[in-house]
Structures are given as structure tokens and as C-alpha cells.
Structure 1
Amino acid sequence: MRNLYYQDRCLWAKTMAMFLQERQLDQLDCENLIKEIENMSGREKSSLESNLEILLIHLLKWKYQPNKRTNSWYRSIVEHRKRIHKAFRTSPSLKRHFEEVLTDVYQDSRKMASVETMLDIQIFPLDNPFSREQILNPDFPPQ
């Protein structure tokens, strides 16, 4: 079974699920199952951070380049908020991770907003100007 993990991960996963359903526990590739389960959490956290970064970039652009606002920025804000809320619904423990990474993700977002807008980075505040509530509020900021 261990070779199958490296040859065809999708087939390996289906096979592991079948073994679990049929209670054939002696057939399980426990080493790789453990690794995959541990990696699931990391992927969810990484996805949350990515969605948060994109959301913050567009919120910064929206706030500091009001004359260049576009519908695509608005759609991005709506879409990435939706993804974050969905992540919180399916994995409520990600709310804690959101709080833990917000400051660092903001710093990355600040840099990217500067690159994307070609504005001096000093235009964007060193400290996150958006509260958690504003970041997650579907009615903020677009008007």
C-alpha cells in the first residue's frame, strides 16, 4: 500500500477509505494516513491565510485608491470574505488561527498592495487599519 501512496495518491485515498469502511484496519497504510491527516490542517490554514491576504490587499486598494476602484476589486472582496466565512463554518478552530496570523498577513498584504498599485508603501499604514469586524463584515467598505 505504501507504494500506491507515491504512485497514485487519489487511488490510495479511495483504497484507504474502503479499508476503513470495511473495518480492514490491518490493511491501512497508517504511516501515510497519519501524515495526510496532519497535512489537512496545514492546507486549511494556508488557504485561510491566502484568502485573508487577497482580501486585505483589495481592502487596502479600495481605501487608498478610491479613484481607481473597479468591479473586480469589489468581487474579490466579496469572494474572499465568503471563502473565509465558509472556512470558519466548516472548521471553527480556524477563527483562532485567523487571530494568530492577522498581523503577519497584513504586512504581506501591505507590501503586495504597494506593488500592485505602484504606490509608495508608506501610504499604507504600518499597523492594520481594519478591525476584525470590518475585515469580515460583508457591508464594509464598498458603498
Structure 2
Amino acid sequence: MNPTSKNNLNLYKTDFVVWTEQTAKLIHAKKFSQVDWQAVVEEIESLGKSDRREIKSRLEVLLQHLLKWQYQSNFQSSSWQSTIYEQRKRILDLLKDSPSLQPYLTEVLPESYHRGKQAASDEIKVQINTFPADCPYAIDQILDSEFLPRVIS
């Protein structure tokens, strides 16, 4: 490892923003031997993982609020509706940037529903078995800007 590579590795550990800027400059200048490629690979891999975590988290919050909307209609609010809208919008933004994440929604739906159901149960103080065992909404409904579930009396 040459001194520039060592310095670049130290930057990666001590100042990530400066490391990204310096690494981009090295690549633009075609100084490939000075790039810490292992760190670059790690960062590229983490970007995909980050998008997956975000989409899963947003799906959980969205499902939580859809359940609250459906099962506690006497407390429906513009705040809940705004949260539903915002989570949908952010998920759709992620899917627009990375369409390959579309199948991931289906993959994580059962776990996201379980977590959203648990959060809704905790928040509105109802037994978790009040909600269906499996997600009652299709992915298309979940992401549909016009969809709000029918109220359960």
C-alpha cells in the first residue's frame, strides 16, 4: 500500500465526507492505484442495504397507520393521513430510483406487516389478534394514493 492509499484509508476511518470527495477526485483523475477499492466496494454494498432498510421501515410505518385508520376510526386524523401519504411517496421515490426493489416489497411484506401490526397494537392499545393474522392489503393497495381501508366498526 503506497502512502496515498494509506492516507485515503485513514480518511475513510476519520472523515468520511473528505474520503468520498478525495476518492471521487482520484477516480476522475484515473489514479486508480491510489483508490482504496475495498472501502469503495463496502460503500457501494451498503447503499443497496440502506435502500432496502429504508423501504422496509417505511412499509412498516405505512402498514401501522393503515391499520390504525381502519381499526380506530374515531381517532382518524389529518396527521395519520399525512403519514400514510408521506410513507407511500417515499416508497414510490425509492422504487422510481431503484425499480429492482419492487419484488423486495413482496418479500418483506409479511415481516413488515407483523411489525406494523405490533406497533399499531401498542399505540392504540388493542390486542394484536384484533388485526388479521396476514396482511389484508395487496401491495397495489398499500401504494395506491387513493386507497384507505374500509373502517371496521
- Normalised by the length of structure 1, the TM-score is 0.97
Separation of aligned partners in 1, 2:127 and 2:75:
16
- Percent sequence identity is 37
Q: Which runs of 5+ in 1 are unaligned?
A: none
Q: Which runs of 5+ in 2 are unaligned?
A: 1-7
Match in the other structure for 1:129: 136
1:92 alignment partner, one of 81, 96, 99: 99
Separation of aligned partners in 2, 1:121 and 1:100:
22
Q: CA deviation at 1:21?
A: 1.2
Q: CA deviation at 1:33?
A: 0.6
Separation of aligned partners in 1, 2:149 and 2:106:
23
The structure whose Rg is larger is 2
Higher relative contact order (CA 8 A, sep 6+): 2
Match in the other structure for 1:74: 81
1:65 alignment partner, one of 56, 65, 72: 72
After TM superposition, which residue ranges in structure 1, 4 or more long, deviate above 6 angstroms? Answer: none
User: Do the aligned partners of 1:74 and 1:142 also contact (CA within 8 Å) in 2?
Assistant: no
Match in the other structure for 2:55: 48
Match in the other structure for 2:5: none
Q: CA deviation at 1:48?
A: 0.3
RMSD: 1.2
Matched, 1:114 2:121: yes
Q: CA deviation at 1:142?
A: 7.1
User: Do the aligned partners of 2:56 and 2:108 also contact (CA within 8 Å) in 1?
Assistant: yes
Match in the other structure for 2:31: 24
Match in the other structure for 2:145: 138
